Chains A and B, each alone.
Chain A
């Protein structure tokens, strides 16, 4: 036969297991993230403090180098929970910036041209869809928060006299837990807020606002009602508190003003539930076109 007809032919090959479809979403989401030059820029900039802290650890552990560089007139500083707390705080701001840029990119492109009916007509549920995006966002943000922090911890454990690492294992656990809690919260917040707004730039702004505006409101509430509980709405402060407690670092808050950990946890959980509710409602509204 010399003439080949290329008609439609059925597919008879392998079908991937159902649970891997979520990973397909995550994979394409990550590809979308990395295709943006600004994301790459933000990632690169977030490496700078990492390098600074790296040098700090090196200097702390090498007195000779320290002498050479500071010429003897700088006090020593200890690599302790406080040091890592500073690191985590720093990286978390970058995580916020990154999340506010990436989260809209993950969701808005799907919603802008009404892709949800086609997307969800494939074997992926609403939950699976959100989970896939969440995994992509979580992975991207991990690269900025707990992964570099743990790397620094490992380096410190390597350069310091040996028992240091074992003695300070709670710090590592704290870094991991603290980082994960923050990026889980940020991811859910970012995805929910992105789904409510049509333009990406606006979504970016709103995500920032969502972190700072309640702080102002909380301050007003505290002042008017003369109570310390307004502080609960101040997310940066609350997160720092939480990290302190996780890392067993000295508590910067005055004893009378301290908010119990349970309250902070409750606040974060409540915020997450509200966000998930928003996300669910938004996706349900867009998954079919009425009429």
Chain B
């Protein structure tokens, strides 16, 4: 039994069917939620939080029914919404403390945990200023702090790196990885940035038009892609690629000297270098294809009729 179970889940909002027959078990330590706008990601999150009753089927979190037992579920969830969501005239400490007390911590412990959470996300003296004076990055951090303060079992992050500058984004990703490593919290991260999901998640759920377009384990996919390679080259690329094909590789050329290829069993990297020196081609970058997530996503988007690919293990 996974942390989140969906069984024929259908949710209708304002007469429209937003989620249509979702079925699957999400078991990963960190689950990524992807999909184009309007696919139903926010609705799914809101359903798990108990805001929308399902019209058909069920959704369960920690084995509890998402709508019926929503009070108990919410006790164990930390939610970081995408939009601005705070009480402006409170200081950062007071806000996090308020949220922690609502989640069930006694007053003294709530204050202590609030300070700990703020220390952990990296908000220093700023925590004593009113939240409506914060910059965007600080607001994101305060949202993360209030989600962590009460020690949730499931952390739901909706676009956590939204609007952050590169340094702040790095820190946020680092914090997420550390939380994941600590082990007591599962994560559900919804994002448009494939790189973020790729760096932090091990399982990914892709929604399209309210249906599951793909549910798979990224780690397993990566391991399966051993023989895929990606090269960046400079020089006589056409002749080079012809030679490679002649040796039995499937390859595709892209502008800018990029070549993606699949090597057959008997070939190894040294052979590529031999061919390259024959044609006077420099190989400036060589790596095993890491963008399997991009592949999975594009494949999922192309799938017409939304026939779900359940490659979960």
24 pairs, CB–CB < 8 Å, chain A vs chain B = A6-B120, A8-B148, A9-B151, A14-B106, A16-B101, A16-B106, A18-B71, A18-B104, A21-B104, A24-B98, A114-B83, A115-B87, A118-B81, A118-B85, A121-B77, A122-B103, A123-B72, A123-B75, A123-B103, A124-B102, A287-B51, A288-B52, A289-B42, A290-B42
Q: Is the CB of A8 within 8 A of B182?
A: yes
Which B residues are closer than 8 A to A by beta carbons? Answer: 37-38, 42, 46, 49, 51-52, 70-72, 74-75, 77, 79, 81-89, 98-99, 101-106, 109, 113, 116, 119-120, 131-132, 143, 146, 148, 150-151, 178-179, 182, 184-185
A113-147 contacts to B (CB < 8 Å)? 113-125
Q: How far does the alpha carbon of A55 sit from the alpha carbon of B51 in the complex, in Å?
A: 55
Q: Indicate whether A203 reaches chain B with its CB closer than 8 angstroms.
A: no
Establish whether residues B102 and A8, one from each chain, have CB atoms under 8 Å apart when the complex forms. no
Known contacts: A122-B99, A290-B42. The answer to whether A11 contacts B49 by CB under 8 A is no
Residue-by-residue, is A16-29 near B (CB-CB < 8 Å gives 1, otherwise 0)?
10100100110010
Q: With the chains together, A273 CA to B89 CA distance in Å?
A: 31
The count of residues in chain A whose C-beta lies closer than 8 Å to any C-beta of chain B is 37
B102–A113 CB distance below 8 A: no
On whether the beta carbons of A119 and B102 are closer than 8 Å, the reply is yes
Q: Which residue of B lies closest to A122 (CB)?
A: B102
Residues on the A chain within 8 Å of B77, using CB:
121
Does A80 have its Cβ within 8 Å of any Cβ on chain B? no
Q: Can you add 5 more A-B contacts, CB < 8 Å, to A109-B89, A118-B99? A: A10-B151, A13-B105, A24-B98, A289-B42, A291-B42
Q: Which residue of B lies closest to A16 (CB)?
A: B104
A231 to B86, CA, bound (A): 44
Contact digits for A59-79, partner B, Cβ 8 Å, 1 yes 0 no: 000000000000000000000
* Cα of A111 to Cα of B143 in the assembled complex, Å: 16
Expressed in whole angstroms, the minimum distance between the Cβ of B42 and any Cβ of chain A is 7
| Complex Cα spacing A288 to B42, Å | 9
A8 to chain B, nearest CB (A): 5
| Chain A residues within 8 Å of B71, by CB | 18, 123, 125
B79 and A15: CB pair below 8 A?
Answer: no
> In the docked arrangement, what's the CA distance between A253 and B51, Å?
50
A 1-47 contacts with B by CB, 8 A:
6-16, 18, 21, 24-25, 28
B161, chain A: closest CB distance, angstroms? 18
Are A15 and B120 touching (Cβ within 8 A)?
no
Cβ B88 vs Cβ A113 within 8 A: yes
A263 within 8 A of B: no
Complex CA distance for A14 and B100, rounded to whole angstroms: 12
Rounded to whole angstroms, the CA-CA distance of A118 and B131 in the bound complex is: 14
B86: which of A15, A18, A115, A120 is its contact (CB, 8 Å)? A115
CB-contact partner of B51 in A11, A28, A118, A288, under 8 A? A288
Q: Are B150 and A118 in contact (CB under 8 A)?
A: no
Interface centre among A13, A115, A119 (most CB of B within 10 A): A115
The answer to whether A113 and B178 touch (CB under 8 A), given A121-B74, A121-B77, is no
Residues of B contacting A251 with CB < 8 Å? none
Closest-CB distance, B159 to chain A (whole angstroms): 12
A15 to B, closest residue via Cβ: B104
Which residues of chain B are near A291, meaning CB under 8 Å? Answer: 37-38, 42
A265 on interface, CB distance cutoff 8 Å: no
**How far is A16 from B150 in the complex, measured between Cα atoms in Å?**
12
Task: For the complex formed, measure the closest distance between the CB of B101 and the CB atoms of chain A, giving whole angstroms.
Answer: 5
B49 & A28 in contact (Cβ 8 Å cutoff): no
Task: Give min CB distance, B86 to chain A, whole Å.
Answer: 5
B30 → A minimal CB distance (Å): 14
Contact of A123 among B74, B83, B88, B132 (CB under 8 A): B74
Q: How far is the CA of A121 from the CA of B116 in the complex (A)?
A: 21
